[in-house]
């Protein structure tokens, strides 16, 4: 399954980028994941008549993917502007997210993980007509204690739970493609 991975952080040492890379590597036999560049121009409807080349490339990768993995930080109880901007571009002109299966994960140093951001993201994606994996919520809290210096997730309980969520997503995808 070809999966577009959208990480809502541009920060070089982002825990969410680390999580996305971990998922990409650990589940490579089930998920052919590609981390997409979200460093896109701000969405502006005036640009729709002549889309910037990086937006065209981004939209094509989302369109061509079988599914989308959203890896979101939490900024002020919501998703990042970077992720919202990418979603806005993906939803315009051609609705590249409509009917596409997806799932959401997130990591933060806080005690609640990214629960509020994920709740908001689910609402946004539901409005777009995406088919998001239900009842499998990965909120990695205290992320600074759960990854080693190589970027491996070292908390055994978190890894086991993530294993089950990815297996559930593969099954969900197979039943809904």
- CATH assignment at residue 69: 3.40.50.360
What H or E segment, with its residue span, contains residue 104?
strand 101-107
Q: What tokens does 62 get?
A: 């989302």
Range of the domain at 16: 2-176
- Count how many domains the chain has: 1
- Among residues of the chain, what percentage have pLDDT more than 70? 100
Neighbour tally for 161: CB within 10 Å: 15
pLDDT band at 176 (very low <50, low <70, confident <90, very high): confident
pLDDT (average), residues 14-22: 98
Q: For residue range 140-163, list pLDDT tens digits in order.
A: 999 999 999 999 999 999 999 999
Q: Is residue 32 within 8 Å of residue 4, measured between CB atoms?
A: no
Q: List helix spans (H) across the chain.
A: 15-26, 53-64, 81-91, 115-127, 156-176
Q: Is residue 155 within 8 Å of residue 145, measured between CB atoms?
A: yes
Predicted structure pTM score: 0.97
What mean pLDDT value characterizes the chain?
97
Q: What is the pLDDT of residue 177?
A: 79
- Among residues of the chain, what percentage have pLDDT more than 90? 99
Q: 108, 133, 137, 140: which is closest to 31 by C-alpha?
A: 133
Q: For residue range 56-112, list pLDDT tens digits in order.
A: 999 999 999 999 999 999 999 999 999 999 999 999 999 999 999 999 999 999 999
- Residue at token pair 């499998």: 136
Q: Cα(2)–Cα(12) distance, rounded to whole angstroms?
A: 24
Q: Is residue 28 within 8 Å of residue 92, measured between CB atoms?
A: no
């Amino acid at each position: 399954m070809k999966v577009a991975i959208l990480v809502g952080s541009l920060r070089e040492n982002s825990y969410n980028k680390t999580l996305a890379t971990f998922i990409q590597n650990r589940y490579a036999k089930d998920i052919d994941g590609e981390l997409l560049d979200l460093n896109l121009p701000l969405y502006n409807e005036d640009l729709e008549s002549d889309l910037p080349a990086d937006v065209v490339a981004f939209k094509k990768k989302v369109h061509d993917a079988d599914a989308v993995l959203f890896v979101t930080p939490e900024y002020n109880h919501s998703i990042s502007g970077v992720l919202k901007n990418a979603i806005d571009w993906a939803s315009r002109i051609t609705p590249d997210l409509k009917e596409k299966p997806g799932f959401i994960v997130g990591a933060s140093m806080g005690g609640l993980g990214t629960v509020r951001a994920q709740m908001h993201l689910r609402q946004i994606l539901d409005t777009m007509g995406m088919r998001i994996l239900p009842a499998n919520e990965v909120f990695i809290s205290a992320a600074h204690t759960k990854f080693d210096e190589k970027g491996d997730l070292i908390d055994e309980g978190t890894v086991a739970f993530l294993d089950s969520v990815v297996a559930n997503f593969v099954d969900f995808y197979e039943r809904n493609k």
